[in-house]
Structure 1
């Protein structure tokens, strides 16, 4: 079969690569075209039609500012779909872009599979009605999504979470600290996001933390689509180490972490690293978001557990005093750490078993046969 996958950001690129690997095992003659990043390019052994580095824009204002780039990408993908007419279009999260592509594909008789549901449960839930019209099969990765879609009369396949697959395959790098030029001090990880906007909004404050915790080394998890020199632009003091393509090694060696809201919050929890979740964006974007979004939490950890397992510092609360105090609690308040780690173990149980990529690939191949 000919498969066309679309992932618009770094986390989707990782899940897309795992799905490509699983599809190749079941369909040895499979061919792939895709919008994605470095991980998908490596797994498929070919270049992306469009790379994620020019796809990911977060926030209402940021999307408007880049609307011409987004429209250009939409036009390019639509043309490419008609030129190659895949047997299966597999959309991975990234709903603002992918739902428009789904509608176009459906009109042109291309079968649409959606892997990793758009977060329609967070805002504008009536989008489910559109999904029912333009998506042939939906594969969800969060346990509470099954009941949500059921309320709207839509049957979906729950496949488990692909992060469990990626983490189960993780093999720690020997001598990680030495190879990355790190000292023997305990590590606090800084995960400032994978988009330019996220990094520019969050990294300057993160980079000011080390002077308050001299017994620790603060290490940045770099996004693969940026260079180390790019990160240096945000340091007002001493240079901080940046490691690329070793986020899991970094987390596995960390005592605590400061994490921008997104998939990384769940990854950090699954590695049992105490964390504080932060998020800052354009003020108008945040105002609109608070008007529209109907969930109690922004981090996946808290959303899945439906209790505040980790502290969330959003917008004005993302300030040096509050972040510094929370990092101090994570590092030095033993009962606080233990309670968070106990909640992480409950999260492990709720997440289920590994094998999401394989289950999804098997369902796709079955639906196509």
Structure 2
């Protein structure tokens, strides 16, 4: 999973203000006063870094004495996590890309296993990144370390056998997709639906006028937002056809303005000498764009939650594409479509990722009077309602505290 938005501290529930019996709090009192546990947190992608950082922040409220070790990115680091591996070397995608970097991941795995052996963490929190994290879960379980898996492998999409593995190596699983809970339970997984962390998104986004002034744009003219990806491989595959599609839109509607999002952790060198401006304020871009073109991933749901019409376009390597066609069990890849079980957002895949296919879809959605745009906005509102209430990070922190007490 990739990610762009920042969390909203105001929407995070302070655990002391939750209505509960005193008996519910007693088991945690020792952890709050005397214990100085060590928690290992592993996240391998931008979105995982964001979600892990929110959980770390919630845990620090509950026990300021916790020592956090992990792999992740700048948001985890900002929360005081002692990182031994950072996102720049971790973020890849696709089967062929994983094979190409197998030696690196084997070396990293040995490093994590050595750390588990030397530190004997009181809890291991794994965030998404299943190809790597499942092997760590097995090793931690064998070592006797409790394991909390947040954002489990997408067994509803492919490789259902991973659910059986998860049942044997994870003490608890925190799910963010309501449609996967029953399947995981069928395989014996101790799973709890915690809600989607993107529902805790920031409300401190500047107004449309302020944002457009900062970008040097006209707020009276429509804006097309471009999200090519949060990984280097994604940007390399998507940036060129996305820019070509945006150019085709501007050729047809000269008043349209275009901005390209540069995700955290990506170097400026990947975005030099482009015909459209590049910004890092992706939350503002998602909220104030009149339409968004994005690759598949977390950004599709982030955009949907803002109620901004979007088109999903995605391509991977030839080998990854072939394997995906053979292994994937779902009709859709976009999260808004998976949540609603229907194509509420158009998906353009592999060889179809071309301006002649994408531009007409964008032109229809950027037109305020278009029935297609109006219908999609209504469906995006339904996506938000189906995801439930905010507070995922707080619920995951509660699960972590329970595991810490149980194994103390």
Same fold (TM over 0.5): yes
2:258 aligned residue: 218
Structure 1 position 172 matched with structure 2 position 212: no
1:12 aligned residue: 48
Moved beyond 3 Å, runs of 4+:
180-185
2:380 aligned residue: 344
Q: Tell me by how many angstroms 1:47 deviates.
A: 4.9
1:231 aligned residue: 271
CA distance in 2, matches of 1:39, 1:180: 24
1:186 aligned residue: 222
Quick check: 1:170–1:248 contact (8 Å CA) kept in 2? Answer: no
CA distance in 2, matches of 1:146, 1:254: 33
2:97 aligned residue: 62
TM-score when normalising by structure 1: 0.94
| Highest RCO, 1 vs 2 (Cα 8 Å, sep ≥ 6) | 2
Structure 1 position 129 matched with structure 2 position 168: no
Q: Tell me by how many angstroms 1:183 deviates.
A: 4.5
Quick check: 1:182–1:241 contact (8 Å CA) kept in 2? Answer: no
TM-score when normalising by structure 2: 0.85
2:129 aligned residue: 94
2:70 aligned residue: 34
1:1-369 alignment runs, 5 A limit = 1-44=37-80, 46-165=81-200, 167=201, 169-173=202-206, 175-184=210-219, 185-208=221-244, 209-210=246-247, 211-212=250-251, 213-232=253-272, 235=274, 238=275, 240-244=276-280, 246-332=281-367, 334-369=370-405
Shift of the 256–134 alpha-carbon distance from structure 1 to 2, 3 Å rule, reads: same
Q: Tell me by how many angstroms 1:39 deviates.
A: 1.1
Quick check: 2:49–2:72 contact (8 Å CA) kept in 1? Answer: yes
Shift of the 181–70 alpha-carbon distance from structure 1 to 2, 3 Å rule, reads: farther
Q: Could you tell which deviates more after superposition, 47-56 or 138-147?
A: 47-56
Shift of the 360–150 alpha-carbon distance from structure 1 to 2, 3 Å rule, reads: same
Q: Tell me by how many angstroms 1:70 deviates.
A: 1.6
What secondary structure sits across from 2:69 in the alignment? strand
Shift of the 287–353 alpha-carbon distance from structure 1 to 2, 3 Å rule, reads: same
Aligned-residue CA RMSD (Å): 1.5
Please list every run of 5 or more consecutive structure 2 residues that lacks an aligned counterpart in the other structure: 1-36
